[in-house]
Amino acid sequence: MNPAADLASRGEEIVAINGLRKSFGAIEVLKGIDISVKRGEVVVVLGPSGSGKSTMLRCVNFLETFEQGAITVNGRPVGYKTTGGVRKPVSELENARLREHVGMVFQSYNLFPHRTVLQNVMMGPVKVKGMNAAKARDLAMRLLGKVGMDHKADAYPGRLSGGQQQRVAIARALAMEPSVMLFDEVTSALDPELVGEVLKVMRELAEEGMTMIVVTHEMGFARSVADRVIFMDGGVVVEAGPPADIMANPKTDRFRGFLSRHLSEDG
Amino acid sequence: MFPVLQSSLPYLLQGAVYTIVLSAIVVVFGTILGVGVGVLAAVGGKALRAAVTAYIFVFRGIPVLVVMFLGFYSFPAMGLRLDAYTAVAVSMIVYVAAFVAEATRGAIAAVPAGQLEAAKSLGMRKGMMMREIILPQAMRLLIAPVLNISLMAIKQTSYASIVGAWELSFAAREVVERTLAAFQIFLGVMIIYFVICYPLSLAARALEKRLAFDH
Amino acid sequence: MEAFIVFFTRYLPAFADGFLITTWVAALAAPTAMIWALVLIIPRLARWKWLTRLVDGYVEIMRNSPLLVQMYLLYFGLPLLGIFWSSIVCGVIAIALQHGAFLSEILRSGIQSLSQRQWEAGSAIGLRRSAVIRLVILPQAFIRVLPALGNQLIVLVKDTSLVSAIGVMDLTLTGKVTIERSGASFEAFIAVAMFYLVLTTVLGLALRVVEVRAARRYG
Ligand SMILES: Nc1ncnc2c1ncn2[C@@H]1O[C@H](COP(=O)(O)OP(=O)(O)OP(=O)(O)O)[C@@H](O)[C@H]1O
Ligand SMILES: [Mg+2]
């Protein structure tokens, strides 16, 4: 929100993923992932379907458990604490506290259908953080204005288009004033003509210095917004680096193949 | 045209009042108990869940008439002196609650997983999630099924007459035993039940379509 | 518990008889209700307007009034017309009349859930309307609503307990008579409840097997 102050604290690590391994039953879908995200950084994760992108993202706010490795957000452990070499699950309360600092936006929006747009955005600050209603209302209206949805504050989500719902979902996540925002293919369910309005909001967020991890198939977004691109395949990070480098000169056949398949469908 | 029906109509309507009162008591308390039990099963531990499953399984598997007799004969054995009307009411509440509990579990399960993930992501804990996200949506899904269960319960209150509780069907049998006018009386009584049930029936059907959320 | 076992073994023969009667009533009523349900959907499928309306009215009355009163109507009413049917027959017919209405509603919803294309596909290969219904529509609708039909059958089995009100010595009446004549106490109805539970559970499991088979073959 304040680029000058942010610059000073750039370099501080917000998310650290170390040696993350995760299986569903007998199938290992994450096979040792290391990712570090610094304040203000926008990391875009690319990869073919089934490569484990969503699973990795969901581990960061502990929507998925994991067997090995460690994740921290703002230095606080996610899901498990290791004391004296023993790994123990942290309490439900600690997980809930941690999630307050991690905003998540889903492919399927997941707005609360029984609450208006404004109530959706106010719910986190009021119910979870205990903010008073008037203040939360101001905050919510400001964020709705930012995503261009303040004119629909009193509508119910069922009445909105997919693009509108997704922008409200972004405002809802921002209302918690998170340290990092996670986006999981947030434009994949949208009609093509609605993709742009959501990407625009995300682009503006990035320019304001929000720390973001973005899983997407939008190559244009990756190239122009990402500070760093990570290519995942088969549960491992195959390549990582600034988009100008690695997207122009992929080192592996896997990434090259992936890019040629996706660049053809997207400028 | 139907002299016996006409002359006994006040008596039958008095029975109908008893039917309506019994139905209202059973539906209100059965719904409260059933929703409570269904919610408990959703938030409680394994043992509680197993107990609720067993309760639902047993009561849904036996006829309500048997439950009424069971109540009627076992309350005295427990040292409770209840009249037939009360015994039937209590038995039916427990019976109806099993159906409502099952519907409640279904409604809670029908709230999409994405809703829970979104709530969790905002930092909500289990209790708040239940209160703010799951229950409001589940209750809406529950309205139509509960109306249908209520309809079932109203019709079943007529079985109270078999156990000896006086209400509309009991009154009808008394009149028929006295007058032998079985056709007029039982047809008339069917119409009285129809008048009570049909509006609920219509409401249930209309709400089934209207109340679903488009997620 | 021990007292219950002693009691149970002493009255077992009586309960076994009642169990058989209950099963017999259900075994008569279920197919009768199903056949009646099929008859009830004929006017709609044949597009006989007036008869369809009549059936709709009949279904509404059946759904919105108690089976017990319908049973009384037959049992106490028919003799006035000089028709003397046994209480079992009256009970079975009353059950079939009501459950036929419910089952026909279920079938109707199944037929409505099939897309128009099935009708078109049927007539496209040159079948007459009646053949499309028999060969294409009904079998598919039937499989689609199998779970709902199964639930209704279980309700039917439980509803057979009402025949006790017109004097059929089924499980329920056996329970009552055991208490009133032999000074047994409420345990009689625990035994009765257990018998019903066995009956509905076995039926439920059998229906599950049928559903799974049907789903595997046609799903
Ligand atoms: N809940 C689950 N249970 C079992 N397997 C799962 C589950 N969730 C994901 N998987 C499997 O884990 C693997 C990785 O899935 P994930 O959703 O993380 O992939 P992705 O990279 O996000 O793919 P996409 O681009 O299709 O979203 C896949 O093979 C998937 O089938
Ligand atoms: Mg994914």
The three state secondary structure string of A26-92 is: CEEEEEEEEEEEECCCEEEEECCCCCCHHHHHHHHCCCCCCCEEEEEECCEECCEEEECCEEEECCH
**d(C-alpha A19, C-alpha A72), whole Å:** 12
Out of B63, B158, B173, closest to residue C66 by CB: B158
Closest ligand (CA of A184): 2
**d(C-alpha B124, C-alpha C120), whole Å:** 52
Mean pLDDT for the stretch of residues C11-26: 92
- Residue with the smallest CA separation from ligand 1 atom 31 is A50
Q: How high is the pLDDT of residue B168?
A: 95
CA B101 to chain centroid? 11
B192 and C66 Cβ atoms separated by less than 8 Å: no
SS3 content of chain C, % helix, strand, coil (to 5): 85, 0, 15
A188 and A107 Cβ atoms separated by less than 8 Å: yes
Helices (H), chain A: 3-9, 53-60, 92-99, 117-123, 133-146, 162-174, 192-207, 219-225, 243-246, 253-263
Q: Which residues of C touch B182 (CB under 8 A)?
A: 72-73, 76-77, 80
- Residue with the smallest CA separation from ligand 1 atom 4 is A24
β-sheet bridge partners, residue A28: A23
Is the pLDDT reported for residue A7 higher than 60? no
Q: How far is the CA of A264 from the centre of ligand 1 (A)?
A: 25
Mean pLDDT for the stretch of residues A234-244: 94
Q: How far is the CA of A20 from the centre of ligand 2 (A)?
A: 17
Specify burial of residue B117 (Cβ count, 10 A radius: 0-12, 13-18, 19+).
Answer: middle
Q: What is the pLDDT of residues A119-145, one digit of tens each?
A: 999 999 999 999 999 999 999 999 999
Is the pLDDT reported for residue A265 higher than 80? no
CA C76 to chain centroid? 22
Closest ligand (CA of A48): 1
Q: How far is the CA of A245 from the centre of ligand 1 (A)?
A: 28
Q: How high is the pLDDT of residue B188?
A: 95
**d(C-alpha B51, C-alpha B49), whole Å:** 5
Closest ligand (CA of A28): 1
Query: How many residues are present in chain B?
Result: 215
Label residue B78 by pLDDT band (50, 70, 90).
Answer: confident
CA C90 to chain centroid? 14
Number of folded domains in chain C? 1
β-sheet bridge partners, residue A183: A105, A214
Name the minimum distance, in Å, from the CA of B162 to any CA of chain A.
Answer: 45
Neighbouring chains to A with at least 3 Cβ pairs closer than 8 Å: B
Q: Which residues of A touch B122 (CB under 8 A)?
A: 99-100, 123-124, 128, 172-173, 176
Q: Which residues of A touch B132 (CB under 8 A)?
A: 123, 127
- Please give the interface size between B and C, counted as residue pairs whose CB atoms are below 8 Å apart: 118
Mean pLDDT is lowest, of A12-26, A65-79, C8-22, for C8-22
Amino acid type, A101: H
- Residue with the smallest CA separation from ligand 1 atom 17 is A54
Query: How many residues are present in chain C?
Result: 219
A110 vs B: CB within 8 A? yes
**d(C-alpha A35, C-alpha A44), whole Å:** 12
Domains of chain B: 3-214 (1.10.3720.10)
Greater model confidence, B70 or B212 = B70
CB contact under 8 A, B182 and C73: yes
**d(C-alpha C45, C-alpha B133), whole Å:** 44
CB contact under 8 A, A104 and B126: no
**d(C-alpha A47, C-alpha A233), whole Å:** 6
Q: Which residues line ligand 1 (CB under 6 A)?
A: A 24, 29, 47, 49-55, 185
A56 and A184 Cβ atoms separated by less than 8 Å: no
Give A128's DSSP letter: I
Q: How high is the pLDDT of residue B215?
A: 60
* CA dihedral (C62, C67, C69, C75) positive or negative: positive
What are the tokens at A161?
């288009």
Tokens 């000074």 belong to residue: C183
CB contact under 8 A, C60 and B172: no
Mean pLDDT for the stretch of residues C168-182: 90
Mean pLDDT is lowest, of A14-28, A73-87, B95-109, for A73-87
B64 vs C: CB within 8 A? yes
Label residue B94 by pLDDT band (50, 70, 90).
Answer: very high
> Where is A215: in which H helix or E strand?
strand A212-215
Q: How far is the CA of A200 from the centre of ligand 1 (A)?
A: 27
Specify burial of residue C130 (Cβ count, 10 A radius: 0-12, 13-18, 19+).
Answer: exposed
HSE at residue A27, side-chain half, CA atoms within 13 A, is 8
Mean pLDDT of chain B: 93
Q: How high is the pLDDT of residue A5?
A: 47
Is the pLDDT reported for residue C7 higher than 80? no
Q: How high is the pLDDT of residue B214?
A: 66
Label residue A254 by pLDDT band (50, 70, 90).
Answer: very high
- By CA distance, what is C22's nearest residue in B? B63
A223 and A246 Cβ atoms separated by less than 8 Å: no
- Residue with the smallest CA separation from ligand 1 atom 3 is A24
Label residue B184 by pLDDT band (50, 70, 90).
Answer: very high
Q: What is the pLDDT of residues B135-166, one digit of tens each?
A: 999 999 999 999 999 999 999 999 999 999 99
Out of B180, B186, B193, closest to residue C64 by CB: B193
Label residue A10 by pLDDT band (50, 70, 90).
Answer: low
Residue span of the structural domain in which C110 resides: 2-218
State the closest ligand 1 atom to the C-alpha of A51, by its place in the atom list counted from 1: 21
State the closest ligand 1 atom to the C-alpha of A217, by its place in the atom list counted from 1: 25
What are the tokens at C218?
């046609």
Q: What phi and psi, each to the nearest 5 degrees, are found at residue C35? A: -65, -45
Q: Which residues contact A19 (CB under 8 A, 6 or more apart)?
A: A32, A33, A34, A68, A69, A70
**d(C-alpha A221, C-alpha A216), whole Å:** 8
- ipTM reported for the complex surpasses 0.90: yes
Is the pLDDT reported for residue A6 higher than 60? no
Mean pLDDT of chain C: 90
Mean pLDDT for the stretch of residues B201-214: 82
Mean pLDDT of chain A: 92
Mean pLDDT for the stretch of residues A195-224: 94
Q: What is the pLDDT of residues C101-157, one digit of tens each?
A: 999 999 999 988 887 777 778 778 877 888 888 888 888 888 889 999 999 999 999
Name the minimum distance, in Å, from the CA of C41 to any CA of chain B.
Answer: 20
Kindly report the CATH number assigned to the domain that includes residue C136: 1.10.3720.10
For A99, A100, A173, the CA distances from A180, given in Å and listed in that order, are 10, 10, 10
**d(C-alpha B145, C-alpha B107), whole Å:** 9
**d(C-alpha C91, C-alpha B34), whole Å:** 32
Name the minimum distance, in Å, from the CA of B33 to any CA of chain A.
Answer: 24
Is the pLDDT reported for residue B183 higher than 70? yes
Mean pLDDT for the stretch of residues B111-134: 95
Is the pLDDT reported for residue A43 higher than 90? yes
A57 and A215 Cβ atoms separated by less than 8 Å: yes
Q: How far is the CA of A57 from the centre of ligand 2 (A)?
A: 9
Label residue A267 by pLDDT band (50, 70, 90).
Answer: very low
Name the minimum distance, in Å, from the CA of B23 to any CA of chain A.
Answer: 31
